[in-house]
Amino acid sequence: MSEPSSLMQAIRSAPVVVTGGAGAIGSRLVRRLLELEPSSLSVIDDLSSGHRWLVPDDERLDFQRLDVCELSAELLPVERPWVFHLAAFFANQNSVDHPIEDLRRNGQGTLGTLLWASAQTGRRLVYASAGCSIAGHGVDAPIREEMPVSLDLDTPYQITKALGEFYCNYFADQLSTVRCRFFNSYGPGEVPGRYRNVIPNFVWAALHDRPLTITGTGDETRDFIFVDDLVDGLLRAAVTPAAHGGAFNLGTGVQTRIGDLAELIRDACGSRSTIRFAPRRPWDKSTHRQADISRARAELGFAPKVPLAEGIERTVEWFRAHRQPIERSISETPR
Ligand SMILES: NC(=O)c1ccc[n+]([C@@H]2O[C@H](COP(=O)([O-])OP(=O)(O)OC[C@H]3O[C@@H](n4cnc5c(N)ncnc54)[C@H](O)[C@@H]3O)[C@@H](O)[C@H]2O)c1
C-alpha cells in the first residue's frame, strides 16, 4: 500500500510509546515504527507473554520491562507522545482459566495507561480492542462498528477488552483515543503456545508432522489479517485527525473455513500431518466471524493487501528462520 507521506511526518513529529511491544503484534509495530524514524521510541512490556528477542536491538529504541499497571510520569516521562496500547492478557481461554489476572492486566492495565497518557498530554492513544468483544456471539453477518454492544459476552477477556473501550470513551475530554477492533491477526512474531492463536499452533505442528487439531467441525470461519496489514491500520488510526474518538474494525472482510486453513498450512509446510477434530471449547459460541471494514477503508484509507496464502507462506518462512528462539520460548512459557 502506498504510504501517505503525512503518516511518516506525523509519526516523526513526536515521541512514540508502545505498550506490549514485545508481543506478536507489538513487535511488528515496533519494527515498522523504526522505519518511520520517530523522534523517540519507548517500548514497555513486562514480558509476561512477549519475548525480548522479538524486539530489535536498536539504539534508537528504549525498552523497559515494566507492568503497565505501574506506569507513572517518573518511570516514563515522555511529553506529548503517540501511544499504542497493546499490552494485554492474551486471550480467551487464558482469561477463562485466570479471570482475576485478566481483569488486572486488561482492566487496571488499560486504565493505568490512559491515566498516564492523559497526564503526559498524549497526542492520541490507540487502543487494541478485539472484534470478538463487542457484538457478542450469534452474529453471522459481517460485524459493523455501530452494532450494539452485547451484554452477553463469552469470556472474561471479551469483557475486559470491551471495558477498555468504555475507559477510552470516558477519557474523551482529556485525551484523544481511537479504538481498533482487531480480528484474527497472524504472521511473523507469534510464538505458538497453549493460549495462542490457531495459525502459529498449526504451523508449528505441521512443521513437526504432528496432527493439526481443529476444535469444531472445520466449517467454522474466522477473518484472518496479516500482522503487517494490521500494523498499517494502527498507524493510520493514530495519525488520521478525523479518527478521533472512533472505533474501527481491522480485519480483511474475508472469511476462511478453519478446515481450509488447516489444509493450506499443511501444504505450505510440505507436512505429513493428519487433521483431527476435537469438541468446540464451551465458551466458543461464534461459528462465523467476519469484519465489515468499510469504515476503516473510507475514513483511514485502510486496505489490507496480503492474501491469506501469501501471508501463510511468509509466516512459515519466519518459523523456519527462527526455529531455535521459538523452541526456547515455547519451553520457557509456563503451561
Ligand atoms: N492477536 C490477535 O489476533 C488479537 C485479536 C484481537 C485483539 N488483540 C489485541 O492486540 C494486542 C496485542 O496482541 P498480541 O497478539 O500481540 O498478544 P501478545 O500476548 O503477543 O502481546 C501482548 C504483550 O503485552 C505484554 N503484557 C501483558 N501484560 C502486560 C502488563 N501488565 N504490562 C506490560 N506488558 C504486558 C505481554 O508480555 C506481551 O508482550 C492485545 O491487546 C490483544 O488483546 C489481538
Instruction: Assign a CATH topology to domain 5-189+223-253+284-307.
Output: Rossmann fold (3.40.50)
Atom 6 (ligand 1): residue with closest C-alpha?
A: 130
C-alpha to C-alpha distance for 326 and 204, rounded to whole angstroms: 9
> Which are the catalytic amino acids?
157
Q: Sign of torsion, CA 58 64 69 71?
A: negative
Q: Is residue 69 within 6 Å of ligand 1 at its C-beta?
A: yes
In tens, the pLDDT along 123-168 reads 999 999 999 999 888 888 899 999 999 999 999 999 999 999 999 9
Cβ distance 195 to 156 under 8 Å? no
- Candidate of 32, 76, 83, 182 to mutate for ligand 1, largest count of ligand atoms within 8 Å of Cβ: 182
In tens, the pLDDT along 269-289 reads 999 999 999 999 999 999 999
Distance 48 CA to ligand 1 centre (A): 9
Distance 180 CA to ligand 1 centre (A): 13
505450505: which residue's cell? 268
Q: Is 196 exposed, middle or buried (0-12, 13-18, 19+ CB in 10 A)?
A: buried
Cβ distance 186 to 200 under 8 Å? yes
User: Which element (helix H / strand E) includes 16?
Assistant: strand 16-19
DSSP for 178-243 reads EEEEE-EEESTT----TTS-HHHHHHHHHHTTPPEEEES-S--EE-EEEHHHHHHHHHHHHH-GGG
| Domain edges within the chain | 5-189+223-253+284-307
Cβ distance 264 to 135 under 8 Å? no
Q: Is the pTM of this model over 0.95?
A: yes
